[in-house]
Amino acid sequence: MGVLRPERMTKVGILGLKDDQGRILTVLHDLRLAQVEPLSPEALAGLVPERGTETQRAIGDEALRFRGLKTALPAVPVGPPHRFDTLHDILAAAKTVPIDAEVGDLTRESDRLLSEQQAVDETVALLEKISFYPDRLEYLRAQSFVSFFGEGDRAVLQAALPAPADAQFLDGPAGSGRFLVSVRRGSADQLARVAQAHGVHLSALPALSGTPTEETAALRQRHEEILHRRVAIAERLGALARDWYPLVAAIDEALQVENRKVEVLSKLGAGRSTFALEAWVPTRDVARLETVVQSASGGRAYLYAVPTTEEPPTLMSNPAGVRRFEFFIRFYSLPQATEWDPTLVFAIVFPIFFGLMLGDWGYGLTILLICLWMITGFRGAQHLPKFGRTFVKRIMGPQGMRQLAYALLPGCAIAIGLGLYWDEFFGYHLLGRLVGYAAPADPLKSSDVGLLLLLTGFVGLAMVTVGFLFGLLKEYFHHHPRGVLGKAGGVLFAWGVAFFGLSVIHPVTLRAVTGGGASTASPVFDGTLALLVVGLLLMVGGEGVQTGMMSLIEIVSHILSYTRLLGILLASVILALIINTIGGGLVVGGTVVGIIAGAAIILIGQSFNVILGVFEPGIQGARLIFVEYFSKFYTGNGKPFRPFGAGRTHTASSLTASGVVAGPIIQAPPR
């Protein structure tokens, strides 16, 4: 399990006999440890690329057939997984399934009936709207004119039509806005353009002969017939599924496995009786892979390390709790396999930033409950207004929302703790009024604001320092000595800036930290100047004059940027105070209108502040890490590790639960 670094990857090669190729590919598929790569030119020198066979094309055809059958049949409970020892067993089992024609006919009929049912429903809805027309519908059709049903302002439409259209109108019930209109066939397009320009909706009339009442009754009868037939089709498909679905699902899955093996063949090399493949494998799993491959091949395969300068794929492997925050790192950019994985630091720092910027136990508890609701699958979300549901879906998918909710939980807990300490509950000092609690600190007091501002400055200094240290180690491991000098200079200059700022702005704190003086004649001040000068020289020497000088400004701005932690906290507290003061003043006024208006102001205002409490601390907390911290060492743009293989559900794995080969397994297509 990797911490601070992605998993180390090793590129390995496997050389084996073609007779064992199917067995080896099957265990690779079920292990899901190896990302198979195209064979290197050096390895291909004595081999040729693998080519497809007629049998492999047959696998593709059968896979399409059974994927269609599985989709058409309703899923039913299945028993133990099926086992196919050879490809011949799979293809032989596929030939025993005789239901293709019947399932195809039933599915096509069901689709046709569904389309007809929808058309019938639409026609019935239209006939109900023109029920005011008493005569036969065939009277509305002729060679010389065409009729439409309209909804909208008939008078405006009639006034806008030119006289040659010879439009004839039949109004529906008074005030309904419904009408029938007939025009000459040559004027139909003109009628449509005029109606669209004036917001009038026109619908073509159905080609029916009877009265609306007669045709509505006939169509409803047809609707019932369609429903009965679709029920019968569903029952027949259900009966077929009970007999055949377990076998169809097993064959489909087995063919999908074979298809994946066929797809990976193009990356292999082949000799007359041998084959070779290369793959990236987590270093920790190389020994296990070798054991399984040797077992599958009867000891006839050779696994070896492949020297390479290629950038490996990235596999992040953090502890379970930290893994929740990989979502943010992937959202920003996947780390390269040879650089630091910043997930652990993000998992520690982001909740602290979020909780500090929120700093209210009322808001923290509310957001905590919303997160728990998101984790449980948005129960009851169908009762929310459509706008709210659509807005949430546009921001992020359900799985992303769930990951975000898990990541916000510790931040909400910190916000609740700080809110209780400061006695902040939606901007009220609730504990003080209920139990007489005297908060030790108040974010709005000038003295406490100064201490919090100083704290955020030290947080910025710590984050910038840690970022530079990670950058220094990265440059060292990548053998870039000038880069090491530049990052070391950044650390020294950052601390020099901090001590210089303290000596000017807050000398009392500097004396407390250093135990020395804070005047310009003191040794502490001389040390500060030394840090600034040495840091500047190292940065210029390591990064060049232009880049080094730009980095100086960047360091100062990045440290000061962390003061936004306090700024967002104060903005939230002050906004809550304003909402409570205005709304509470109206409520206390005692008038009915004032109470209603005040309650509305408090409810809407606090809801708005809750929304800000999610977005502002979340976005700004992530931004402080992505920009001010990542910029010191993080490159990103890593290639994700995509191992060959997939899980099995309906077929038996080639491996036992302990990870060893479980007897005979599916063979490769015969040649």
* pLDDT > 90? residue 113: yes
Tens of pLDDT, residues 431-445: 988 998 988 888 888
Joined together, the tokens standing for residue 483 give 């880069």
What is the helix (H) or strand (E) element at residue 402, kind and residue range?
helix 398-422
Task: Please state the rounded mean pLDDT for residues 647-662.
Answer: 80
Joined together, the tokens standing for residue 338 give 């040879």
Is the distance from CB of 315 to CB of 26 less than 8 angstroms?
A: no
CA distance 408 to 354: 8
Task: Please state the rounded mean pLDDT for residues 418-447.
Answer: 88
Residues 6+ apart with CB under 8 A from 414: 351, 352, 354, 355, 356, 364
Joined together, the tokens standing for residue 253 give 């899955």
Residue 94: name the closest of 283, 251, 328 by CA. Answer: 251
| DSSP assignments along 58-82, one per residue | HHHHHHHHHHHHHHHSPP----SPB
Task: Please state the rounded mean pLDDT for residues 260-268.
Answer: 89
Confidence bin at 527 (pLDDT 50/70/90): confident
Tens of pLDDT, residues 282-337: 999 999 999 999 998 989 999 999 999 899 999 998 988 899 999 899 989 999 99
Task: Please state the rounded mean pLDDT for residues 443-472.
Answer: 88
Confidence bin at 409 (pLDDT 50/70/90): very high
* pLDDT > 90? residue 523: no
Residue type, 550: M
Is the distance from CB of 359 to CB of 413 less than 8 angstroms?
A: no
Task: Please state the rounded mean pLDDT for residues 398-409.
Answer: 86
Note the pLDDT of residue 449: 85
Task: Please state the rounded mean pLDDT for residues 352-372.
Answer: 94
pTM of the model: 0.78
Contacts of 54-62 spanning 24+ positions with Cβ under 8 A: 55/87, 55/669, 55/670, 56/262, 56/265, 56/669, 58/91, 59/87, 59/255, 59/258, 59/259, 59/262, 59/669, 60/259, 60/262, 62/91, 62/94, 62/251, 62/255
- Residue pointed to by tokens 């957001």: 367
CA distance 480 to 487: 11
| DSSP assignments along 304-319, one per residue | EE----SPPPB-----
Note the pLDDT of residue 57: 80
Specify burial of residue 46 (Cβ count, 10 A radius: 0-12, 13-18, 19+).
exposed
Provide the mean pLDDT of the chain: 87
Tens of pLDDT, residues 208-245: 999 999 999 999 999 999 999 999 999 999 999 999 99
> End-to-end distance of the chain based on CA atoms, in angstroms?
42
Note the pLDDT of residue 387: 58
Note the pLDDT of residue 521: 45
Confidence bin at 252 (pLDDT 50/70/90): very high
Residue 428 per-residue DSSP state = B
* pLDDT > 50? residue 658: yes
Note the pLDDT of residue 128: 93
Is the distance from CB of 226 to CB of 59 less than 8 angstroms?
A: no
* pLDDT > 80? residue 26: yes
Joined together, the tokens standing for residue 109 give 């009929």
Confidence bin at 670 (pLDDT 50/70/90): very low
Q: What are the helix (H) ranges across 298-383?
A: 320-323, 326-332, 343-358, 361-375
* pLDDT > 70? residue 659: no
* pLDDT > 50? residue 671: no
Note the pLDDT of residue 52: 62
166 φ, ψ to 5°?
50, 50
Q: What are the helix (H) ranges across 423-506?
A: 430-435, 446-477, 481-505
Task: Please state the rounded mean pLDDT for residues 51-61.
Answer: 77
Residues 6+ apart with CB under 8 A from 616: 357, 568, 571, 572
What is the helix (H) or strand (E) element at residue 295, kind and residue range?
helix 286-297
| Superfamily (CATH) of domain 120-223 | Malonyl-CoA ACP transacylase, ACP-binding (3.30.70.250)
Residue type, 546: Q
What is the helix (H) or strand (E) element at residue 11, kind and residue range?
strand 9-17
Tens of pLDDT, residues 118-153: 999 999 999 999 999 999 999 888 888 899 999 999
Task: Please state the rounded mean pLDDT for residues 464-489.
Answer: 91
* pLDDT > 80? residue 96: yes
* pLDDT > 60? residue 511: no
| DSSP assignments along 157-188, one per residue | HHHHS-GGG--EEEE-STTS-EEEEEEEGGGH
Q: What share of the chain has pLDDT > 90, as a percent?
A: 55
* pLDDT > 60? residue 512: no
Q: What share of the chain has pLDDT > 70, as a percent?
A: 91
Note the pLDDT of residue 504: 61
Q: Where are the beta strands (DSSP E) in 247-340?
A: 269-270, 274-282, 302-305
* CA 481, chain centre distance (Å): 39
Residue type, 652: A
280 φ, ψ to 5°?
-85, 135
Instruction: Report CA torsion sign: 141, 144, 145, 146.
Output: positive
Extents of the domains making up the chain: 120-223, 322-632
CA distance 484 to 468: 10
Residue 436 per-residue DSSP state = -
Note the pLDDT of residue 669: 41
Task: Please state the rounded mean pLDDT for residues 435-459.
Answer: 85
